[in-house]
Structures are given as structure tokens and as C-alpha cells.
Amino acid sequence: MTSHLAMTPGWTCGGCGADWSCHTRRQELQAEYDRAPVSLALYLAAQLVDAAQDLAHVPAGHLHYRFLGWTR
């Protein structure tokens, strides 16, 4: 079980304190969803929707990269 889970409402990593999803969590997610990239994108999109409500002050482009852009 990972300690790198999102801590809301600030959406920081519970394991290292970085913005979620941190580098470690991204690696974990890529390994977990290795053969299911669409499922990973759907999971992260759902997280983005939740985070957008809490982080209304953060530009949309930044949130997109933070939650989805790195998956390419």
C-alpha cells in the first residue's frame, strides 16, 4: 500500500508533501495501470474533477498537466 495518496483539500502528497501526483505516485500508477492506459486516464480525470473544485485558484492548464498531461 502506498503512502503517496492525495491529501485534500490542498491536493498534496501524504507521503512526501509534494503536489499530488508526485513523482513516486506517478511511477506507482504507471506500474499499476501498465496494460490499461485508458483506465489510468479515466481515474486521473476523475481526480482532476475533484481537485478542480478544491483548487479553483490554480490555472486549468496547470491542473491538466499535473493530473493528466504526464501520462503521454
Domain coordinates in residue numbering, the chain: 23-71
Q: How many residues does the chain have?
A: 72
Confidence of residue 72 (pLDDT cuts 50, 70, 90): confident
* C-alpha 34: how far from chain center: 16
Task: Look over the chain and give the mean of its residue pLDDT values, rounded to a whole number.
Answer: 95
* pTM for the whole structure: 0.89
Which whole number is the average pLDDT over 6-22? 96
Q: Specify the pLDDT at position 2.
A: 83
Which whole number is the average pLDDT over 11-27? 96
Cβ proximity of 40 and 30 under 8 Å: yes
Q: Looking at the predicted structure, is the pLDDT value of residue 1 above 80?
A: no
Q: Specify the pLDDT at position 64.
A: 96
Cβ proximity of 15 and 7 under 8 Å: no
